[in-house]
Structure 1
Amino acid sequence: MINKHLNQIIIGKICSPYGILGWNKMFSFTENKKSIFKYNPLFYCKKNIIYSLKIIQWKTIKNYFLIKIQNINNRNKASSFKNINIFIYSEQIKKKNNEYLWREILSCQVFNINKNFLGIVINIIRTHTNDILVIKKNDYKEILIPFVKKKIIKTINIKKKIILVNWRE
């Protein structure tokens, strides 16, 4: 998820309080759920003020985490964090040369190997098997292209915002 500020990337959400000792439920939006704890610092925004989030303890529970935030020691204080998004700044993400963020793929022009313009990436759909690029050309219907590297997605040039695919119109 991308926040309204271009360099903020929402990577999780603090949910309801858990118990009476100041714990909260938290969902991670990162691909590897535990990766959220590798980013330091984490941030959140309350009343248009940005704060650093200091998680001092965490536990895995089913498909979410329980977190203990520094200086939050009771349910009432934990309740003040309900439905708060957790974000990092894009500069915190270390990328290798050929790596990119999903948001960098959005608005890329897509051409097939015959150099025919297919459209522009307007969305990416996550599925269990492979992700799907949603391509739109003018006012025509959308084209769905499976994000299968080498077989379908031939090259991605983030600097030029061009994706080359093995796909027929």
Structure 2
Amino acid sequence: MSVTRPEQHPRVPDGYDRLWTPHRMAYIDGENKPVDDGAGPGCPFCRAPGEPDEQALIVHRGQSCYVVLNLYPYNPGHLLICPYRHVPDLTEMTAVERAEMTELAATAMVTLRRIKDCDGFNLGMNAGPVAGAGVAAHVHQHVVPRWAGDANFLPIVGQTKALPELLGDTREQLAAGWGDGPR
């Protein structure tokens, strides 16, 4: 992350500081999105369980679902809960998968409250491309920690989110403290 001041680049006449986030172009350009609806190497949620946890950013592995950090988080600690099976939405999941997804979401909330001291959460899923699903062929639930005052002008005006922590550091903290402590 770098901030460029107008005096460093005199062609910028408005006097605003610029927060450069070129890493976001990977998301905008569709990097890591599956090329088709098929399971396997084209699907990042099918591929992740076959990789080491640290490399795949997996925080916890359950019986039918796993918890992974979002590569393009809205906030530090933004988790995704995915079934191992390649299914497009809740209607295709088994009752066991749906139950475990719900339990993992609850455990994620407990863990994030304790480790990240968050004030609230956004939980949800986008079913289908028209609903905003980036990986529409493999259902996943978002657990996004929220803090009072965590939204500012950057996401609204600049379509940019400043994240103060590296994904690997967040994964290490959450994996080490997964599910410990009272509910």
| TM-score, normalised via structure 2 length | 0.28
Larger radius of gyration: 1
